[in-house]
Amino acid sequence: MPSSPTTPADVARALTEHGYLPDDGLATSIFLALSLRRPLLLEGEAGVGKTEVAKVLSRWSGGRLIRLQCYEGIDAAQAVYDWDYSRQLLHLRAAEASGEARDLGTGALEGQLYDERFLLKRALLDAIDHRGDTPPVLLIDEIDRADDEFEAYLLEVLSDYQITIPELGVFTTTVPPTVILTSNRTRDVHDALKRRCLYHWVEHPSFEREVRIVRLRVPHVVEPLARQVAAAVEAMRTKNLYKPPGVAETIDWATALAALGVSELDETTVESTLGAVLKYREDQERVRQQGGIADIVKQAFERGLLHG
């Protein structure tokens, strides 16, 4: 980043400039993660903007974004490094064809194979062996989907920022990457890993913040509509839905409405664009049932005007 931040407010300002509006808690957590050089674990409902944090940090710092999407069964070959076996094989064949193989002998030939040029760096090794002044931003997304074993390995990497490859030696870094981990909490992340990290539980934004987020992310949405959309989403979140809409949905919805050329919410528009906010049939029904849509539009208008 251009100059390292000295207060959480600096962080908030910089992130806002780059299209992300953090609240005080998140700004402080990010500030601390940067100044203490610790990984930051973000937990929260889907769609509250956890992954986005890493993206905006990358935009701000100019560091490359390296993303590791976790899934069940992810292992070292997919997360750390692998050898490029096809190229190794070709190399062997070439050595054989040119007669080099005979001159070198098996031992030397094998030595050639485990050279860095045959190494495929995956996300973790890539982030540690970055060889630049600007540390990359390493996003370890949805860590709760990976297996326990992988978590244990990650713990090792994140405590020392070094990776050992038996054939080559130890890879390490002088400037550790900025690490953001996210979790949807489908299971508990192991305590040992949590201890290594700073932790922040990401909440749905407040009404005013959400309005500002919509204005920031979808600039061609006019202020009154942004307020109405935020108010409508806020109303939906209280309706005990399977999946209360997150900020991502709010932005989607505002974008959709803008694309339709809508400048004010009304029942017909809400009805026809409901799929942009609520992605469960049951949720849509629930909102419709309780005489809901008229209700939501009414609330949206009141809330939208209140401070406007």
Partner 1 sequence: MTPRLTRGEQLAVGFARVLRGAGVAVPVGNVIDFVQAVGAVGLEQRDGVYWAGRCTLLHRPEDIPVYDRAFAAFWERHLPAGTTGDEEEEPLKITIATDDGDDNDDPGDGTASDEPTIELRFSASEVLRQKDFGAYDEDELHLAQQLMSQLRFAGAPRPSFRLRRATRAGRPDIRATVRESLRAGGEPIRWRWRDPGERMRRLVLLLDVSGSMEPYARAMLRFVHAAVSGRQRVEAFALGTRLTRVTRELSSHDPDRALRRASERVLDWSGGTRLGECLRRFNDEWGVRGMARGAIVVVLSDGWDRGDPAALAEQMQRLQRIAFRVIWVNPLKVTPGYAPLARGMAAALPYVDHFVEGHSVAAMEELARVIGLPARRREHDAGVASAGTRS
Residue 23: exposure state from Cβ atoms within 10 A (0-12, 13-18, ≥19): middle
| Residues 134-193 within binding reach of partner 1 (CB under 8 A) | 144-145, 148, 184-188, 191
Nearer of residues 95 and 300 to partner 1, judged by Cβ? 95
Quote the tokens at residue 96.
């054989």
Q: How far is the CB of 189 from partner 1 (least distance, A)?
A: 8
- The residue within the footprint of partner 1, chosen from 80, 95, 127, 180 (CB under 8 A), is 95
Binding flag, residue 98, partner 1 (CB under 8 A): no
Pick from 64, 69, 92, 299: which binds partner 1 (CB under 8 A)? 92
Using CB under 8 A, which of the segments 79-87, 121-129, 221-229, 289-297 binds partner 1? 79-87
Based on the shown chain and the rule CB under 8 A, indicate whether residue 7 belongs to the binding site for partner 1.
Answer: yes
**CA-derived radius of gyration, the chain:** 25
Segment interacting with partner 1, rule: CB under 8 A, options 48-56, 62-70, 198-206, 218-226: 198-206
Can residue 200 be called a binding residue for partner 1 (CB under 8 A)?
A: yes
The minimum distance between CB 258 and partner 1, in angstroms, equals 31
Does 58 bind partner 1 (CB under 8 A)? Our answer is no
Distance CA 308, CA 305 (A): 5
Q: From CA 224, how far away is CA 1, in angstroms rounded?
A: 35
How many chain residues interact with partner 1 (CB under 8 A)? Answer: 52
Please report, as ranges, the residues that interact with partner 1 according to CB under 8 A. 7-8, 24-25, 28-29, 31-32, 35-36, 38, 40-41, 43, 46, 71-75, 83, 85-86, 88-89, 92-93, 95-96, 101-102, 106, 109-110, 113, 144-145, 148, 184-188, 191, 194-195, 198-201, 242, 282
